[in-house]
Structure 1
């Protein structure tokens, strides 16, 4: 290649440096590419640009007088399509003579000093085995696992059920982050959020700030970046199962302006998984679209308006295999037909006070899930209806949050008012579990919250205390908001003057309203059967210690205890709904009572190393127990998520010439299940009935899988080409799966009479799964 062409393949990086509390631009801050002499100084808007860098991976450091320096690790500079790099600096503590105070690269806040994990954009984009699926990426975080067999994106945090988490996109709550989501829960097989949008992902698995409602196990915040406000950029991504296009740029930018006050970023993604499934003659064909967008407008230095949203179109259709096999036929019998769409859209206004005394955020949003779920005796011909669920749930939310800086205190307060609209036409044909009703709900939910935080003793001691209360106009006693008074308190202390050692602890009570599928369940005359259910209550006690090994690595040990009360218990099956939500049916569409208790507790070890010397890694081991009761509150049974041992490792090494190898290792202990009630299942087939009185009698083998990814980037003038090759299950481990049952058939697939239920012989699923993908940025 001619030298003149190579010389054009240079990279640059731009972004902003602001005060972390006030969001005030820091003028004259210095930004450097570590290991080089390249750098820049911010202008009056806090904006910087570093030019003429060699395309490679860098750590980038921002410094400003009177503030703690901040380093962004693992920043890939390319010749095209580089998003802004934004810093938020914190005012520095008083320096002590002869002591170097180490800035913590794993920044936490006083209100959430524990169990906070963050992933950078590069860690998200190159996650091995994730196929650019943000929901799978989250499962690499400490204490987080998926459902049995690892084929779904259920987020199980420290033994809590999948529907115990909440998800926020730039402060806008989104109820579903997966395609083909389980109504009443949030899991599904494929994530619907685009990884190209994110500046980072933050998981809080304890010590939740009071502004977040309806959470029992985890808060996941997806921070979207603003679109480029100077020039247009496009990202094209093609993988083994889908293709996506993301575009961004300025709006209303005049020729003499360097940047616009208005920018956008938008994407659309299309699957072709259904074509692959049809080619290999599988009995079902999943087909999906999704879209995501963000529009930002900056009125002035103190006011910004953001309009953002995400949505999906999902369909599972039937494909009758050409040749009969017992396992394929059992899958065909039991697979539902799903026609589902979802959308979330929100408008938020952030007003920063001119005296830097605080800011307020006002948001109006709506989310809709439309779910048609059907099962048939003969699914190929769609004859013999077994179960029909035709429902829609919608929320219209108004949130207001005020943050004030009062001397050394930071006070956050606000409220939420939301309208919940739910309708369902549902029918199950079953002599023991059958029902038929058509019903709709329209009621108001509301909540208030306050939290105050402060640091003492030269910022070595941090304390935070707060509360929230929630109510609604539907449930019996729902307006007695004092019953959901949920206090919380957290404390953190840096033990040594160098700020290497810190201890953290929190205690709090949290509440969650039952899913609308429970609240809307009715008898044939339309009478609501579950109006007397209660908010689910969970008390958390967490404590831990952390040590900064180096400026880029840490180790921590954390113990946790969660106690549950008033968990819904199925009247028919006498099982806590804490055990459910990991399948493809509908969670909670049945009669329940708030009678269940539960507890999860354990200890977690974490080692994390940010990108230094070409290597980064997260290694975590969690030992925990998760158990719940049915109606007998004296009998605790292991939950479906009680795997006891969870090991996760994610790491990568970057070689020269833009080569990278990364790996993910997951180990999940035995999974307790309730065995199938064969007599009841035969009577209700294709519905599978379990004997939940024997929950835990069936133990699936441990799940153990290693995934490998190889990336190679080529930089050309103004554009970048990236190829990645992934290998899932590189050690060809046998992956556990639930026992499968079907009707006894002859060699031609005809049912033998009288009908008999048989256990299908377990298939070998220990294959290596390779996949190839490309990413183009320009």
Structure 2
């Protein structure tokens, strides 16, 4: 053991025997037309200012700094009549650093107004003025508890909360996770998570891997007209291209998966490239090797992604991309004999559950001129959820051992309780044209077309367990059509105004939203002060499986009650203030109000509303619904952030909010997600040991109000063998406040050809017991007791990984 520790110490304290260098390269383009800016000047300055390198872009807007010593640098790009852009770049030995820069044209072309733009965290979509954030690959890697997951990373933002520690569903400003929209390369993406329940937008493990992502945008409300079919938030994801000059590789082994990535040139002369990666669940590998991991219910999952890029003449590009994954788990309660609190409750069945999704697409991008840019994406998607539950008839055996009475559970018989398979095939087309009329006026127009071919089948035993009832039996095609127009008026160098119209039509329910206006305004004052505002109308279709639910009455007639459900609709408004300081420090505050209406509720008087659905693994089976429910969300948010630029970062976020709704009974209640407050504090420090070694450490503290719940109707619960809450007292109680502390430590070693990274993410390091929900659990010893048990959030979870980056090309020393 001593020899191993000595070896590690020697590696850490290794002196600089030879200078290790790497390449920093990228492109500089106009932010609106994507036209390459030829002759842009670039400077690369090390954090200690000892290294200063200069370069210019070529005829394709490309630049390349060769033989850059590893370390941290500030990359600055300038171009006549454009605002200067500056960004932080980390240079490691294992792979090249690729930075693509978008410059914003000045309204006045004199040198005196050539102010610094592109502040840290600035979003890609120039039409957004408020409630929008950029998230980068570096952030998803650096933040404790984020697990490299974009959704979990976004839960650090003010106004965004995770609904469940074991899943990445997120609640945006009190809205159901159903309201979230995932987009990639312009098209709407099926739920990109493993073990994704029908109608949900999250899951336990993300299929999306941050290693294939470029810097992307996250919107929280009042988003531009580009985005539709969402009333909550939007992830607008960008996929990066592979390296066009070197073949580079990444291998990673960790708790969440074992993965490999390869990228490099297809044709160096034509600058075409490939990027391919795959991942498989590490726990499944352990199980296959007969290594005991403490549980028989091992989740099996695998995922992959690829992108091929083919540059065309005059700045055009053709891209082929794909993202997909599949997951499966078998929870066999029948093999358990130990007495547990839920053995005769929700643990009364064996469960088999599997999901799959895939999207393959073709993207074409072309700067038609210096003022016009065209983009189109054609994609085919598939997603599937399937499950089978086998019911267990069980009894309790008692025996006396050494004078003590012991209990064991015996399974007497097993029979199928339910089963379903939901499949959706979707063909999607996105096209947009961005035209810069002049330096002050920009217009964007486009359309999203989605064609759904849906196959839903589901049946289950009735309450008496004597006959199967068909709950879904549907096969058909429907269309979702979304045209939009968005306009931006740059009033002057300090003020922008945006306006747009989005329309939406869904053929299955014949739902129309003819015109959804969106407006935004931003005023950049002196000394780093900025005021923003935005408002807009938004709508969203219901999860597709809810349209196909059917019921059969006593006479044998079958009817799909909810196939004509209309869109849920909302009005968003927000007002924000931001103060930017030197050294990448900023303070940002927003107040918002959202009114929701047309929400599906029961046709008879009750507290039920679709506003509370969308988190966890549960589907629901409604009676006839009508679009008569309402809701409102309002609150105030504060963010104080020091972006990581040299060796330190921190972010403190806080929100105070209310989230209310009315069901068909007209009574105002708390939504399930109304915790009233949420606070996050994150901080991290990077320590440079020498020119080859560094250690990073960071932590995250989260505190939030507890989830809402009600009182159990004991009599109805015992009849139905599942929890039934008293309707009149729904969501009148609240679990205790949520608290969690996460810690992450990473060590990076750069050698001549490799970059090694070892990471340990300690989730819920204090093992705090946070209540998630109640579950049905009748007492084995006291049948008259209230048949409930508390279900807790994730306990302490150490997540480790080892990653190595390397390239095949030789490098100078």
TM-score, normalization by structure 1: 0.91
SS of 1:374's equivalent? strand
Query: Could you tell me which residue of structure 2 aligns to residue 758 of structure 1?
Result: 787
Aligned equivalents of 2:168 and 2:324: distance in 1? 17
Q: Structure 2: where are the runs of 5+ without partners?
A: 1-9, 394-410, 807-813
- CA apart distance, 1:268: 0.8
1:219-252 Cα offsets, whole Å, 9 max, x none, are: 1112221011111111111112311111111113
1:594-632 Cα offsets, whole Å, 9 max, x none, are 121011100001112222441122221111111111102
Residue 606 of structure 1 corresponds to which residue in structure 2? Answer: 639
Structure 1 stretch displaced more, 2-11 or 726-735 = 2-11
Distance in structure 2 (CA, Å) of the matches to 1:206 and 1:745: 49
Q: Name the residue aligned to 1:15.
A: 26
Tell whether the 8 Å contact from 1:131 to 1:239 is kept in structure 2 after alignment: no
- 1:204 maps to 219
Shift of 1:297: 1.1
Cα distance 1:4–1:431, how it changes in 2: closer, same or farther (>3 A)? Answer: closer
Please, which of 535, 549, 562 is the counterpart of residue 507 of structure 1?
A: 535
Q: State how 1:405-554 maps to structure 2 within 5 Å.
A: 405-407=436-438, 408-431=440-463, 436-456=471-491, 458-476=492-510, 478=511, 481=512, 483-496=513-526, 498=527, 500-524=528-552, 527-550=559-582, 552-554=584-586
Structure 1 residues 220-229 or 374-383, which shifts more?
374-383
The match for 1:265 among 254, 272, 275 is 275
Moved more, 673-682 or 101-110: 101-110
Secondary structure class of the residue paired with 2:672: coil
Cα deviations by residue, 1:124-173 (Å, 9 ceiling, x for unpaired): 2233123323332222222111114x221102111111110111122232
Aligned to 2:805: 777
User: Mean alpha-carbon deviation: is it higher for 169-178 or for 243-252?
Assistant: 169-178
| Alignment correspondent of 2:697 | 661
CA distance in 2, matches of 1:469, 1:409: 22
Please give the secondary structure, in 1, of the residue aligned with 2:130.
Answer: coil
Match of 1:177 in 2: 192
Q: Does the C-alpha gap of structure 1 residues 759 and 25 become closer, same or farther in structure 2, counting only changes over 3 Å? A: same
Range with bigger deviation, 260-269 or 51-60: 51-60
Match of 1:302 in 2: 315
Residue pair 2:81, 2:109 contacting (<8 A) in 1 also = no
Q: 75-84 or 619-628, which moves further after superposition? A: 75-84
Structure 1 residue 412: Cα displacement: 0.9
Counterpart for residue 722 of structure 1: 757
Question: What is the distance in 2 between the residues matched to 1:677 and 1:308?
Answer: 51
Q: Residues 419-442 of structure 1, C-alpha deviation per residue, up to 9 Å, x if partnerless?
A: 111121112334499653412221
Deviations 1:673-722 (A, max 9, x none): 2344333332333x443344322223111111111111111111121101
Q: 2:106 touches 2:493 (CA, 8 Å); kept in 1?
A: no
* Mapped pair 1:60 → 2:60: no
Q: Deviations over 1:475-500 (max 9, x none)?
A: 24x3xx4x44211111111233x5x1
Counterparts of 2:633 and 2:771, CA distance in 1: 24
- The 1:97/1:762 distance shift into structure 2, 3 A limit, reads closer
Q: Distance in 1 between matches of 2:340 and 2:417?
A: 21
Query: Could you report, residue by residue, the CA deviation over 1:616-666 in whole angstroms, capped at 9, with x for unpaired residues?
Result: 222211111111111023x11111111111112233211112111112222
Residue in structure 1 matched with residue 6 of structure 2 by the alignment: none
Give the aligned partner of residue 597 of structure 1. Answer: 630
1:671 matched to 2:671? The reply is: no
In 2, Cα distance between equivalents of 1:424 and 1:528:
13
| TM-score after normalising by structure 2 | 0.87
Separation in structure 1 between the aligned mates of residue 196 and residue 603 of structure 2, nearest angstrom = 24
SS of the aligned residue for 1:681 comes to helix
Partner of 1:375, secondary structure, is: strand
CA shift digits 1:401-424 (9 cap, x unpaired):
111111221111122222111121
Q: How far is 1:399 from its partner?
A: 1.8
In 2: Cα distance, 1:735 partner to 1:405 partner: 52
The answer to whether residue 100 in structure 2 is matched with residue 122 in structure 1 is no
Aligned-partner SS, 2:197: coil
Query: 2: CA distance between counterparts of 1:351 and 1:766?
Result: 47
Shift of 1:350: 1.3
Q: CA deviation at 1:319?
A: 4.0
- The runs of 5 or more residues in structure 1 that have no matched partner are 747-751
Q: Is the 8 A contact 2:272 2:308 kept in 1?
A: yes
Residues in 2 aligned to 1:127 and 1:774: alpha-carbon distance in whole angstroms: 17
| CA distance, structure 2, for counterparts of residue 68 and residue 98 of structure 1 | 11
**CA offset at residue 275 of structure 1?**
6.8
Describe the shift of the 1:770–1:419 C-alpha distance in structure 2 as closer, same or farther (beyond 3 A): closer
After superposition, the Cα gap between the structure-2 partners of 1:302 and 1:27, relative to the gap in structure 1 and judged at 3 Å, is closer
Partner Cα separation in structure 1 for residue 499 and residue 458 of structure 2: 44
Give the match's secondary structure for 2:500. strand
Structure 2 residue matching 1:341: 3-state secondary structure: strand
- Structure 2 residue 254 is the aligned partner of structure 1 residue 239: yes
Cα deviation, residue 82, structure 1: 3.0
Matched, 1:92 2:128: no
User: Are the counterparts in 2 of residues 261 and 299 from structure 1 also a CA contact under 8 Å?
Assistant: no
Query: Contact 2:523 / 2:532 at 8 angstroms: preserved in 1?
Result: yes
1:530-571: CA deviations, max 9, x gaps? Answer: 133111110011111111122512111110011011111245
Tell me, yes or no, if the aligned pair for 2:301 and 2:327 is still in contact at 8 Å.
yes
CA–CA distance in 2 between the matches of 1:315 and 1:538? 36
How many residues were matched structurally?
A: 754
| Cα gap change, 1:323 to 1:761, in 2 (>3 Å) | farther
Is contact 1:121–1:200 with CA below 8 Å preserved after alignment? Answer: yes
CA distance in 1, matches of 2:347, 2:292: 16
User: Would the aligned equivalents of 1:274 and 1:285 in 2 still touch at CA under 8 Å?
Assistant: yes
Relative to structure 1, the CA distance from residue 40 to residue 363 in structure 2 (aligned partners, 3 Å threshold; closer, same or farther) is: same
- Offset from partner CA, 1:706-741 (integer Å, 9 cap, x none): 111111111111211011122222334222232333
Distance 2:780 2:285 in 1: 29
State the distance in 2 between where 1:486 and 1:335 align: 47
Rate the CA distance shift 1:738–1:340 in 2: closer, same or farther, 3 A. Answer: same
Inter-partner Cα distance in structure 1 for 2:529 and 2:736: 39
Counterpart CA distance in 1 for 2:191 and 2:601 is 23
Which of 323, 326, 349 in structure 2 is aligned with 1:313?
Answer: 326
Answer yes or no: is the 8 Å Cα contact 2:779–2:785 preserved in 1.
yes
Q: Distance in 1 between matches of 2:622 and 2:361?
A: 29
Contact 2:85 2:116 in 1 (8 A): no
Structure 1 partner of 2:684: 652
1:110·1:462 contact (CA, 8 Å) conserved in 2?
no
Q: In 2, are the aligned partners of 1:27 and 1:43 still within 8 Å (CA)? A: yes
Structure 1 residue 174 displacement after superposition: 0.9
The whole-number CA distance in structure 2 between the counterparts of 1:381 and 1:667 is 46
Alignment of 1:550-629 (within 5 A): 550=582, 552-570=584-602, 574-587=607-620, 591-629=624-662
C-alpha displacement of 1:83: 4.3
Q: Is 2:717 the counterpart of 1:697?
A: no
After superposition, the Cα gap between the structure-2 partners of 1:442 and 1:151, relative to the gap in structure 1 and judged at 3 Å, is same
* DSSP 3-state at the match of 2:43: strand
My pick for the range that moved more, 485-494 or 691-700, is 691-700
3-state DSSP of counterpart to 1:518: helix
Report the aligned-residue RMSD.
Answer: 2.9
> Per-residue deviation at 1:274?
5.0
Cα distance change on mapping 1:295 and 1:100 into 2, 3 Å: closer
Which deviates the most, 412-421 or 92-101?
92-101
1:156 matched to 2:165: no
